[in-house]
Each structure stands twice: as structure tokens, then as C-alpha cells.
Structure 1
Amino acid sequence: MSGLPKVELHLHLEGAAPPTFIRGLAKEKHLDISGIFDERGNYRYRDFRDFLKVYEAATSALRTPGDYQRLALAVLEESAASGVVYSETFVSPDFCGGRDLGAWREYLHAMQEAADQAERQMGITLRGIVTCIRHFGPEKARGTARCAAETAGDWIVGFGIAGDEKIGAPKDFRWAFDCAREAGLRLTAHAGEWGGPESVRAALQDLEVERIGHGVRAIEDPALVDELAERGTVLEVCPGSNVALGIYKDFREHPIDALDRRGVKVTISTDDPPFFHTTMVREYEELHRAFDWDEGQFRKIARQSLDAAFCDADTKAKIAKKLEA
């Protein structure tokens, strides 16, 4: 499975930070966040809300553009080792300069430099999706959207929302999404993970997104599944994440296969891979074991993922050649 070229559309940059990287960074800065690690050095959390706290504690070690440059290189090295040739990562001005546009530009420049280096040295292409944090509230999301709009272009290709689905409603963030849309950014939203199928409907209706992050709880509403298939809405599915967080007992219970058979466009991603002890290779292997997916199925999904990517046509043509190799 490692030899198959892969496309990943749902990856949180900070959430992909290897624990050893964060521990080393914290030590450099004399920051004690040892409580977020278990005795083996892995991230430790009890449930989804605790996961969010641990995530933000780990992110507190990332304090400068240089830190993010090093982080991006570390993450891209891990992705490239799994055969990923194109990736879109969620990044947020909330963590990169506190939504100050000048500071955000500095962080963004550092991440782009890392992406350019990784493309030259590892053959992996990265693009960014600016993400507002739902549990930070709609007002802060406006500031995040302004940063996104001011830096939209070749590298920042999309806008989305992540965080605690049970806080607030998608319609509360409409201004931020309208701002990003007017700047030419394409839109995605986390939904249908914890909020159920109704959260997917709300994201589609109130935010008018073309992709849904996760979206797997749509399987509970057959009419919604049909609507997703008819609309061509793409789901950024992260099976290992859903299993690790207890939404599904194991891969065999996961609805990705059923959604695919019903005509919904599904993709495969790792979400926050070290938190969930996964890689893109492991996702492929587990899906092969659970559903007997073969190389043809994985190639179809990789192509489907590229079609759904937010990058420009020239970048897609370049990546398509890698997928066909």
C-alpha cells in the first residue's frame, strides 16, 4: 500500500505534529506540557473534548514562524513516507499570530517555504486551507476569515471550520464563509462527526460548502445520503480518527464502504495522525482488510480526491501524472 500514490484532503497541521517534535520544541522553550503525553511518549487524552485541550496544549509549543516551518517539514516528511503526493492542510491564524494579519503573513511565508522545500526534496505538494475554530466563536471567526481573504491565492486555496461541533450552529459563521467565498476561496466544513446528519444538512444549507469534513453520520439519514450523491458533495473521510475516538467500534463498522456504494464521493485522510496512531498506509491497509478494497478502488478514490482538491488546474494536471504512474 505504501507504493500507491495518495491524495489527502483532511489534515490538521498542528494535529499532525509528531509527539517527539512537540516534546523537543517544548524543551527548547522551557515549557512544561509533559501532562499531555503518556508513559510511551504518545499524546494522551480521554475523549473528544479532552483531545481538543491536549491539541491546544501541544500547539502552545509552536510560537514562531520558524516553529511552523520546522513543523511543516516534519509533517510532510511523514506524509511523503506514506506515498502522499498531494496534501491539503488546515492552518489557522488563531494559532499563527492571533489573527493579526501582519503576523499571519509571516507564519504563512514560513509554511510556504517549507512546502516549497518539501516539493523539491520529497516530491509532495502542499496547499493550505484556513480554518476558523468553532468553539472560539463567530466573532473570532470573522478575524480569521479576513486573514484568509487577504492571503487567498496560489497556496491558500480554501476556508473551513473545525472544533467542537456541539458549540454554536453553522449559520452563526455565515459572515466568515461569505467573506472567504467573495475572496475566491473554496469551502469545506467539519460536520457529521459528532453532530449527526442534521449538522451535515446545516453546513450545506447555511454555509454552502462543496466538501464536508468527516460527514460520515450522514449514513443515518438515507435521504441525506441520496442528496449528497446527487449534489456530488465530497466527504473528507477519516476512518482511523472515527474509530480511535469511538464513533465506530472498528473499521468494519465504519460507513465509508456503504457511502461509496451509495454513490457518495468519499476520500481518505488521517485527520490528526499521531493522535490516532495512524498513517495513510495504515488507513489503506485497514480498509483493505475491512472491505477487501483492491488497488483499483484505491486508485479511484485517489483520483476522486484530486478532482475534489481546491488547487488550480495546472497543479491538478501535474499531480494527475503522478497518480497515473
Structure 2
Amino acid sequence: MESVRDVRLLPKAHLHLHFTGSMRPSTLLELADKYGVHLPEALSSGEPPQLRATDERGWFRFQRLYDIARSCLRSPEDIRRLVLEAAEEDVRDGSGWLEIQVDPTSYAPRLGGLIPALEIILDAVETASRDTGVGIRVLVAANRMKHPLDARTLARLAVRFADRGVVGFGLSNDERRGLARDFDRAFEIAREGGLLAAPHGGELSGPSSVRDCLDDLHAARIGHGVRAAEDPRLLAKLAARGVTCEVCPSSNVALGVYDKPADVPLRTLFEAGVPMALGADDPLLFGSRLAAQYELARDHHGFTDAELAELARQSVRASAAPADVRERLLTDIDGWLAAPAGPAAGAPAVG
């Protein structure tokens, strides 16, 4: 068998990780016990829940599980723990840069309001980054199930905290609901404030949702975007514009977008020249973290170490990391690839 390098040691950036979804299952159990929250078996069994969100009932069940998990985050201490543990998991998987996505309105009722909630989150990010050595920033995400005026409020708040660690603005939840163009003003506010536009599209909905993100929201990155593989002209457009798709293979399979890992169109996007940043999305519910996405690309799509290194470079280039951090990570990726293949080959991503 051909020797391969350890993908956990491949330096990379993690650009698609949701806040509550980053939680360790063991932490969820402890917090649920602390607050007397009854967890359904899907969250307490120790195994990833069986999910399928390709219909409304399936999406509702997924969202309900997520909401139950989020209800266990009630104090600044809980927030600090979650962010620190997410950073620790990323360091183990070779991430030197993490952009974590959060809708602060979801936590505001228990944390003293919208602004205090975001301040608590950003303080936790700053502390975790200092303690672990991984660079961490925040994408504030609006919920497309809510009114577009709420998104404008969030965009203004995100811009206000651009100097405190907010680097981007997103749009999450069921992309089959609402029109991207309804949120164009919110994204305009975010872009004018210097934030990167990274809405979700092209997972549960087809190529048209990716096109809407490009044309109506002027996205610099697309959360997921895999369904663009069904439209060669759209692939060419993404490649020409250098728009990165934040592809989350394990999530795609868990939610029923594709039946098995080999069906996720990683090769189609890669060979079309569409930049990709592999992400774990919601490890709490999908059962795998960042390095596992690179393993999936290797095991099910035949990506060589050189191609995995290029995926890692694409993640770094698409990030909001400062120039010196990007250059260090890119140099370390070259070092990983130059090292002899073997079970312990490579170089740590952070130091």
C-alpha cells in the first residue's frame, strides 16, 4: 500500500463551522445535565443522529435537534468552553485559521441582549485564539427564515464589530425558503463595511441558489455550493470569479443531499477550477471534524497528497487571515508536501 502523509498534520484553514454545531458531544451531555435539559436519544446516544433534510419534515427534525443543543448554552462560561474546545479540535486537525459562524440573536435572550451576546462571543474567540495558537475570527450569519430587516440589523452590528474580530457576513438556514435578493441590502451594508460575503447556497437547493448568491448578494464565498456541479456554465463562472465553495462532504451525505461520500462532486468542482475550502459544518450532528473531510477526499475520490495540499492552499487563500498568517500557512503546506510520506510525516500547522 502506498504511504501517505497524515492529513491531521496538513496545515489548513477551516471556513465553514457553525457555532453550536462545533460542540463536543460530551460537552453537550454535561451541559444538558447541568441545566436539566432532556436530550432526545438522537443527541444522547453517543452516535451521530440519523438525518435526512431533503424534505421539510427532515429539515425540521435537524433544526429541532440543533435548537435543543443550543438551549444548553446559557452562560458566558459555556460560550468560552465551546469556543476553546472548538479551537482545540481544530488544532488537532491541523487548522491554523478558523472562521466560526454564529447568529448572535440565537444567544441574546440568555446573554443579556444582542450586543452583549456578540461581545461575549468575541471575547471567547480572542481568549481561545491566544490559548491555542490558532487564529480565530467570526462570521455573523443572518437567518433566512426571519425577516430581511433582521438581517440588516445584524449586518450593521457585524460592521460595528469589524475591528473586534468579525470578518464576514453570512446567510444560513433552509436555503429553499425565501429569496436571496430579499437580503441584498443586508449584504450591501456588510460589504460596504469591509466584510466578506459568504451566504449558504447550492446544498438543499440546486444551481440556481448558487447563481442567486453570486448575482444578488455578490458572494465572495458560497457556503456549500456543491450543486453547482450540475451546471457547467455556473462552474465556469465560479472558477472565473475565483469564488470559493465551502464544501462539507460529511454534511452533504448526512443530510441526504448525496447518498454516499463518493457521490459528492469534489472532483467535478476541483477539475473545473472552482476553489474549495473543505469544512465540517456541524460536527456535533454529523460526527466528523475537519481532517475527516480531507480523508474522505483521499479515500473516496482518489485525491493525491499533492491535490490535498492544493485544497489546503485554496482554503487559506479564501480565508480572511492576515497576509503574514497566510504566507506562514502556505509555507507550512509546502513543508508537509515536501516531507517523506509515512504515518508521522508532515509539519504542525501552528506553533
Structure 1: gaps spanning 5 or more residues: none
Q: Is the CA contact (8 Å cut-off) linking 2:16 and 2:99 kept in structure 1?
A: yes
For the aligned residues, what is the CA RMSD?
Answer: 2.2
Query: 57, 63, 69: which is aligned to 1:52?
Result: 63
In the alignment, what sits opposite 2:250?
240
Change (3 A) 1:99 1:308: farther
Separation in structure 1 between the aligned mates of residue 120 and residue 325 of structure 2, nearest angstrom: 21
Paired residue secondary structure (1:58): helix
TM-score calculated relative to the size of structure 1: 0.92
Give the corresponding residue for 1:264. Answer: 274
> 2:240 is matched by which residue type in structure 1?
E
Show the counterpart of 2:340.
none
Distance, in Å, in 2 between the alignment partners of 1:65 and 1:175 is 32
Deviations 1:256-307 (A, max 9, x none): 1111101111121111112111122221112111122122111111111111
Residue identity in the other structure for 2:275? K
**Does residue 1:141 correspond to 2:151, yes or no?**
yes
Quote the offset at 1:40 in angstroms. 3.4
> Does 1:85 pair with 2:100?
no
Q: 1:206 offset after TM fit, Å?
A: 0.7
Give the alignment partner of residue 17 of structure 1, picking from 23, 27, 30.
Answer: 23
Aligned counterpart for 2:106 among listed residues 61, 74, 95: 95
Against the structure 1 CA distance between its residues 178 and 52, is the aligned structure 2 distance closer, same or farther, given a 3 Å change threshold?
same
Listed as ranges, the matches of 1:39-78 within 5 Å are 39-40=45-46, 42-43=48-49, 45=51, 47-78=58-89
Structure 1 residues 121 and 172: alpha-carbon distance in aligned structure 2, compared to 1, 3 A threshold? same
Q: TM-score, normalised by structure 2?
A: 0.86
Question: For 1:263, what is the secondary structure of its paired residue?
Answer: coil
Q: 1:155 to 1:317 in 2, by over 3 A?
A: farther
Report if aligned partners of 1:229, 1:263 keep a CA contact under 8 Å in 2: yes
* Displacement of 1:38: 4.7
- Between 1:250-259 and 1:59-68, the stretch displaced more is 59-68
SS at match of 1:213: strand
Is structure 2 residue 178 aligned with structure 1 residue 168? yes
Find the counterpart in structure 2 of residue 26 from structure 1: 32
Q: For residue 346 of structure 2, what is the aligned residue in structure 1?
A: none
Gaps of 5+ in 2: 1-6, 53-57, 336-351
Structure scoring higher RCO (CA < 8 A, sep ≥ 6) equals 2
Residue of structure 2 aligned with 1:279, choices 265, 286, 289: 289
Aligned length: 324
The equivalences for 1:287-306 within 5 A come to 287-306=297-316
How far apart in 2 are the matches of 1:229 and 1:40? 40
SS of alignment partner, residue 266 of structure 1: coil
Aligned in 2, Cα 1:297/1:185: closer, same or farther, shift over 3 Å?
A: same
> Contact 2:47–2:287 at 8 Å: present in 1 too?
no
* Residue type at the aligned position of 2:242: G
Which residue in 1 is equivalent to 2:224? 214
Distance 1:156 1:99 in 2: 21
Q: Hey, which bits of structure 1, 4+ residues long, moved more than 4 A?
A: 41-46
Q: Does 1:225 align with 2:235?
A: yes
